[in-house]
Amino acid sequence: MLSVVICTYNRDQILKICLETIVKYFPTNFTAELIVVNNNSTDSTSQTLTDFVKKYSWCSVVNEPKQGLSQARNTGFQSASYSWILYLDDDAKVDQNLFNRVQEHIKSETYHCIGGLYLPWYMNEKPKWFRDNWASNRLAYNSLQPMRTGEFASGGVFLVHKNLLIKHKGFRTSYGMYGTHLGYGEETDMQRRIRKSGHEVAYDPEMIIYHLVPPHKMTVSWQLNSSFQMGKTFLKTAGYPDNIFSGLLAFIIGVLQLLVFSIVCFPKLFSTDYFIQNYTIGVLRKPLKWFGAFHATMAFRKRPAS
């Protein structure tokens, strides 16, 4: 019925926490398997997974030597025994109701592609200025709904029918994380293709995971760089024209947002619970996504379709 796929690279200690919650809530009322794709890890991940598989027969490990999250995700669904694939991040803790919620979707088959909600969890004390909503994908839906054009589900908790992945030849490996290199776009691109083929992409706020926010993500520089990197693939993966004219429009949008946000956010600096870090991120984060899109159109780099 369900194949849970977790792709991992050099995060042995965090993966152990993820697997602990999987064990705690793994379904016993329907058929399921766990596939962990080891994407060329060089730490203790291999030994951890070897020990885990010996203990739990419903888990198997697939080694994928070709680096890249998209490559690993494709290997995961290609190795799956069942028709439904649930992708989970390796730094996530699953909610106690996650698998029951997934079972409901599988039974109803109302949607064949559903994204869930991720909420933050912390191993380290977060700075006073850091906002939880920066580490969540909560949308303005109180129940299961098809998402509007321009909205995309997160791949960190992503339920999809295997037939859709086969039909669209999996995730494009020219997008996404590559080892420690920050990259985005593979999930957006896949959902755009799914929609183009006539299927809706839904969002379920009751399909929940808790996503780790490590210390390096609780910095202004990471928040801003993440937005810029996301923008570099946004136009193409979301289906917008990826040319110099779109780039110039993106630049104009970024400049206008920069001006508006700098004015709108300024009075908040006089509030006791609003910090200069909040102002910096509030003013720059969204414009930087558009500047990233502009940069990509100006770079004239070839991005091979795979």
What gap in Å lies between CA 63 and CA 8, rounded to an integer? 10
What gap in Å lies between CA 36 and CA 53, rounded to an integer? 10
What gap in Å lies between CA 257 and CA 251, rounded to an integer? 10
- Output the six-digit token pair for 101: 């919620």
What gap in Å lies between CA 254 and CA 242, rounded to an integer? 16
Per-position pLDDT tens, the chain of length 306: 999 999 999 999 999 999 999 999 999 999 999 999 999 999 999 999 999 999 999 999 999 999 999 999 999 999 999 999 999 999 999 999 999 999 999 999 999 999 999 999 999 999 999 999 999 999 999 999 999 988 999 999 999 999 999 999 999 999 999 988 899 999 999 999 999 999 999 999 999 999 999 999 999 999 999 999 999 999 999 999 989 999 999 999 999 999 999 999 999 999 999 999 999 999 999 999 999 999 999 875 444 444
> 144, 206 in Cβ contact below 8 A?
yes
> 98, 209 in Cβ contact below 8 A?
yes
> 275, 265 in Cβ contact below 8 A?
no
Helix axes 244-265, 220-237, angle to 10 degrees: 140
Helix axes 276-299, 244-265, angle to 10 degrees: 170
